[in-house]
Amino acid sequence: MTYQEFYDKSMSSPQAFWKAQAEAIHWFKKPTQILSKDEEGLDRWYEGGMLNTAYLALDYHVENGRGKQIALYYDSPVTGRKQAFTYEALLEEVRMFAGVLKAQGVQKGDTVIIYMPMIPQTVIAMLACARLGAIHSVVFGGFAPHELAIRIDDAKPKFLLAASCGIEISKVIDYMKIVNAALEEAVHQPDGCIVYQRPQLTASLKEGRDFDWESLLSRAQPADCVPVEATHPLYILYTSGTTGRPKGVMRDNGGHAVALKFSMDYIYGIKPGEVYWAASDVGWVVGHSYIVYAPLIHGCSTILFEGKPIKTPDAGTFWRVIEEYKVKVFFTAPTAFRAIKKEDSRGELKKKYDTSSLDYLFLAGERCDVATLEWCGELLQVPVIDHWWQTESGWPMLANMVGVEVLPIKPGSAAKPVCGYDLRVVSPDGESLPANQEGAVVIRLPLPPGCLPNLWNDTARYLSSYMSAYPGYYFTGDGGFIDEDGYVFITGRIDDIINVAGHRLSTAKMEEVVASHPAVAECAVIGIEDQMKGQIPVGFVVLKSGIEKSEEEMEKELVQMVRTKVGPVAAFKKVAIVQRLPKTRSGKILRRIMRHIADGKSFNPPSTIEDMTVLPELEGLMKDKHIGHSAD
């Protein structure tokens, strides 16, 4: 079957299509309705079905002959530690820790916050919650106390699970210091906190509140799976909101399991028993979906990597992991490769390793410039698949579905809509736009299984954030266009479209041109306020290691490139060389914050920022170079 035939089938008979896909997972009780409405009139999938996500990820495979296969590889270059867990061994660990939680009174419907780094115990904790029908909320390890407190008050956890520390390259982060400050600030107080002591730092435990992980484990009895409704929440994952208050994206059990199993088969084209690696963090949606749940539900071996693309120990660490574990499909963010390219622009370190096991490289999470995509393709000699999705969707919305048909790659495009996603590009009044005309990217309702059915305890915000701008559609917040071949090009957040003297222009297009310069490692182009033209674009550029060109030379060359490829109308005339760009810990460049600094507007630094010190550096640089409001 071709991609188009498969996709059309999902559009013409969505309920029949997703009923067939639900047959690929094990149900304790099969759904009585495939698509229905809940009491608030919101779409829900697989009502009446009973299942357990931890059972699908572990017990099912042990019962069906996969028990001796490796389920989880733990590789930690920051500590020098490696472990491998078979499906049998991981199941035993999860059964026992579920017993710990059960003994503390955690049961179906309770929430549990997990504040832990990239260690096996974090995965075990997630699966143990799922085993009991408890709802986990993983908070990225290292978030500030205030941000953790906000999430505690919103999720109201029965228990908080923490590790004594996390490790950022060589720096040890005291997690319990953060937990203590967060609990002092929070109104809601959990029944207790279970702490896993890492050898790098032993935390002091507060008597009556804190419990030692290993001590409780030594006395635990294994816990069985608790069947839950398909519509029962599996987890809450907080994502940043425009108000500064995070949104609790909720994921259900049934639609999530079906969608993730489907994605492994048809999007990633990987078979049970093969090794899948997503180099991300379990604090992000990629970690939830493609480090933990999808690979295990599918019966793959997954890799939990506690390290960075560079400095742990060098820019060859990804190639080492691929060779060592015979990775078949690799998924990470473009920003990781931009960091590698900056350190090792000619890919010399790659020559030390055999990466012939690799079939595909998938990129997502941050805009993928053509230069990075082509660099990866030349270096790895495998198809490089740019695909696009969001925390809210939980799995890809646009992709080259290589498990169905490998479509020609168009650099700059995340290919075509995935089955189930009726994606449109519309004008401000909601009318579908013709080919190659840019507008808002929306998905016609109902969303397919696996997408957020609601926000945690906040239906009003769910409707106002996603459903009200274009009635009958989910608004992604991104802009883009569809070309004459049906390929979708995401040009960035709607607020990345700038208005230069009445001309609506995409800063993403300018970034693509700037990034193609052989001296540029990574860049950001933002629109800043201008009295004459309304807005003008300014480029911020990080150069590759060893480049000695002056700022004047670079500015002249880049301005000419944009003028040639975008046109004089872009009014691109100013470039600043920077040592680094402000980013979230998941690698997204904080363009909105950069605009606020340039325009002299107040802002709250996001909790997800990688390093707060970059902001005053950037502000000082803008003042020195008379960029933005400081130029007046």
Greatest CA separation for the chain: 72
State the pLDDT at residue 508: 79
For the four alpha carbons of 618, 621, 627 and 632, in that order, the dihedral sign comes to positive
> Which own/partner pairs from 529-535 qualify as long-range (CB within 8 Å, at least 24 positions apart)?
529/598, 529/599, 529/628, 529/629, 532/501, 533/500, 533/501, 533/571, 534/499, 534/500, 534/501, 534/502, 535/498, 535/499, 535/500
Q: Which residues pair with 76 in a beta bridge?
A: 81
Q: Which helix (H) or strand (E) holds 576?
A: strand 574-577
Cβ burial of 200 (10 Å; 0-12, 13-18, 19+) is middle
∠142-145-148 over CA atoms, to 5°?
A: 80
Q: Is the pLDDT of residue 313 over 60?
A: yes
Query: Which CA distances in Å does 184 have to 138, 209, 408?
Result: 20, 13, 55
Binning pLDDT at 50, 70 and 90, where does residue 600 land? Answer: confident
Pick the closest to residue 119 from 199, 217, 206, 179 (CA basis): 199
pTM comes to 0.86
For residue 311, give both structure tokens: 């400095």
Arithmetic mean of pLDDT, 417-428: 96
Query: What is the C-alpha to C-alpha distance for residues 380 and 270, in angstroms, rounded to an integer?
Result: 18
> What pLDDT is attached to residue 187?
97
Q: What is residue 144's predicted lDDT score, i.e. its pLDDT?
A: 81
Check: CB of residue 362 under 8 Å from CB of residue 376: no
Task: Provide the angle, in degrees to the nearest 10, between the axes of the packed helices 14-22 and 3-12.
Answer: 110
* Dist. CA 473–CA 456, nearest whole Å: 20
Give the sheet arrangement for strand 439-444, strand by strand: 423-426, 439-444, 473-482, 488-493
Residue 244, pLDDT above cutoff 80: no
* Residue 597, both tokens: 């600094």
Record the tokens describing residue 38, joined without a space: 């809940």
- Average pLDDT in the 530-551 region? 86
- Domains of the chain are 3-307+387-480 (3.40.50.12780), 501-631 (3.30.300.30)
Task: For strands 233-239 and 247-252, give the pairing.
Answer: antiparallel
Q: Residue 251's beta-bridge partner residues?
A: 235
CA distance 211 to 197: 10
For residue 137, give the amino acid letter: S
Q: To which residue do tokens 């599996």 refer?
A: 234
Residue that is written with structure tokens 């579920």 in the block:
98
User: What is residue 560's predicted lDDT score, i.e. its pLDDT?
Assistant: 92
- Residue pair 208/261 in contact (Cβ under 8 Å)? The answer is no
* Lowest-confidence segment of 62-76, 278-292, 599-613 by average pLDDT: 599-613
Residues contacting residue 114 through CB under 8 Å, at least 6 positions apart: 122, 125, 126, 129, 136, 137, 138, 139, 161, 162
Q: Report the candidate in 307, 340, 341 with the shortest Cα–Cα distance to residue 324.
A: 307
At 382 the three-state DSSP class reads coil
237 neighbors 209 (Cβ within 8 angstroms): no
Sign, CA torsion 538/577/370/309? negative
Contact 442, 476 (CB under 8 A): yes
Crossing angle of helices 87-103 and 120-132, rounded to 10° = 60
Structure tokens at 342: 């900056």
For residues 142 and 182, the answer to whether their CB atoms sit within 8 Å is no
> What's the pLDDT score for residue 529?
85
For the record, the structure tokens of 169 come out as 């390259």
Asked whether the beta carbons of 351 and 382 are under 8 A apart, the reply is no
CA angle, 607 as apex, 603 and 611 as ends, to 5°?
Answer: 90
Q: Check pLDDT > 70 for residue 525.
A: yes
The 10s digit of each residue's pLDDT in 146-177 is 889 999 999 999 999 999 999 988 899 999 99
CB 129 within 8 A of CB 164: no
Q: Residue 286: what pLDDT?
A: 95
Structure tokens at 270: 């990987």
| Token reading at 539 | 């480029």
Name the range with the highest mean pLDDT among 212-226, 242-256, 539-553. Answer: 212-226
Which of 46-50, 66-70, 361-365, 600-604 comes out lowest in average pLDDT?
Answer: 600-604
